[in-house]
Amino acid sequence: MTTGLDAADELLRQIRVTRTEPVTDHRAAALALCVAANLPVLLWGEPGIGKSATLAQLAEGLDAPMETVIASVHEPSDFAGLPIVGDDPAVQGVPMAPPDWAVRLARHGRGLLFFDELSSAPPAVQAALLRVVLERRVGSLVLPDEVRIVAAANPPSSAADGWHLSPPLANRFVHLHWAHDPRVVARGLSGVWPRIEVPAVSLDRAPSALARARGVIAGFLTARPGLTHHLPTDAEARGGAWPSPRTWDMALRLLVFHFCAGTGREALATAIIGAVGDGPGLELTTYLDELDLPDPERVLANPAAFALPDRGDRQLAFLTAVVAAIEASVTRDRWEAGWTVLAKAVDAGVPDVAARAAFDLARMRDPKWPVPSSIDAFLDVLTASGMLTGGA
């Protein structure tokens, strides 16, 4: 049976029919990088610019379910769970029942969990969200690792009953500032909207990528130790991106995925700035541009053919990358090649730079392997540490 609204509904269906094309915007590429790296990401932007629609399109492209939770209309117990008394609470305890959206995501095993209007959530709700974002725990339920967490927020000045994010919650997100492009909107309303595509990861690059990323972060924080942790003084800045050991770990993961997927420099810089803040993020990306670390796998294949960098922080970054590559796949040949590499630091007159790397490399030794002669320069420090006792 047809009704008077059937024709209207058909017209509405036709209006909703559009197509998509890949987007080249660096903010969208940074979002895709964060989602691939499974880092909680927070989109900041004024109301009505398409944050929710972007995430819905991303979920559709990934063929993954998306659960939208409006944080501002929930109570803390909606995230901490509601107590359910069983037959014998003194023995079994009282489990905290999760909400239906968490159960659906757990049942599916993957998907996007989208927290909207985060800056409108009162402090008590933000506190309850801490475990969800960091530990993926909702009540007594642990969300699968394959669930990605994305949030959106309006600046407190434009949010209804807006609050600054608490520093503990803010420090768990990569912060991306979302803005509309009039040209994209015009093209979208003509029927073609942008499509965000998650970068393809090459697992063949993984060992080298992880080693290089560890070298970059270790070298940078050695040169700029004051940036390891810096909590801003004003409330607005504390509600955004700032450097801490947690966010440097995020930067490490972003670098690994960048090296494995070959994402653009601007997208990487946007994501890293969103993790550790404007100043530290810009410094790290500049440092990365100037560092030009050689591939540690190529160095280990021919350790006599490389030249040690001149600057101390670059030397540390390089040696850290080499040791990390060996640790990913320890063999006698690779272990001995590592000592050949470290010997070049001794020849260059900077054995102190290689001391930490020597300590880590010695820890990987199989007791059946003979000690190479190049280890002699580090013998005192390693013997004092007990690393070469019993079979050296």
Give the model's pLDDT for residue 24.
77
Question: d(Cα 392, Cα 390) in Å, to the nearest integer?
Answer: 6
Give the model's pLDDT for residue 388.
55
Model confidence at 384, pLDDT cuts 50, 70, 90, reads: low
**In this structure, are residues 39 and 250 in contact, taking their beta carbons and an 8 Å threshold?**
yes
Between 248 and 53, the higher pLDDT residue: 248
Give the model's pLDDT for residue 392.
43
Q: Which amino acid is at 172?
A: R
What is the mean pLDDT of the segment spanning 231-238?
Answer: 89
Q: Examine the pLDDT at 37 and tell me if it is beyond 50.
A: yes
The pLDDT > 70 percentage for the chain reads 92
Give the model's pLDDT for residue 232.
92
Q: Examine the pLDDT at 159 and tell me if it is beyond 60.
A: no
Q: Examine the pLDDT at 350 and tell me if it is beyond 80.
A: no
Q: Examine the pLDDT at 292 and tell me if it is beyond 80.
A: no
Model confidence at 86, pLDDT cuts 50, 70, 90, reads: low
Q: Could you tell me the residue ranges of all domains in the chain?
A: 41-86+93-172, 203-385
DSSP per residue over 350-375, as a string? -HHHHHHHHHHHHHT--TTSPPPGGG
- Which among 176, 136, 134 is positioned nearest to 153, based on CA atoms? 176
Q: Which amino acid is at 350?
A: V
Between 143 and 155, the higher pLDDT residue: 143
The distance from CA 40 to its chain's CA centroid, rounded to whole angstroms, is 7
What is the mean pLDDT of the segment spanning 217-221?
Answer: 90
What is the mean pLDDT of the segment spanning 321-328?
Answer: 90
- Which among 198, 262, 257, 199 is positioned nearest to 63, based on CA atoms? 198
Q: Examine the pLDDT at 363 and tell me if it is beyond 90.
A: no
Find which of 15-29, 30-44, 79-93, 368-382 is predicted with most confidence, using mean pLDDT: 30-44
Q: Examine the pLDDT at 205 and tell me if it is beyond 50.
A: yes
Q: Examine the pLDDT at 210 and tell me if it is beyond 70.
A: yes
Q: Examine the pLDDT at 387 and tell me if it is beyond 80.
A: no
Q: Mean of the per-residue pLDDT values for the chain?
A: 86
Q: Examine the pLDDT at 250 and tell me if it is beyond 50.
A: yes
The CATH architecture of the domain made up of 41-86+93-172 is 3-Layer(aba) Sandwich (3.40)
Model confidence at 383, pLDDT cuts 50, 70, 90, reads: low
Q: What are phi and psi of 309, to 5 degrees?
A: -55, 160
Give the model's pLDDT for residue 391.
46
**In this structure, are residues 247 and 241 in contact, taking their beta carbons and an 8 Å threshold?**
yes
**In this structure, are residues 272 and 285 in contact, taking their beta carbons and an 8 Å threshold?**
yes
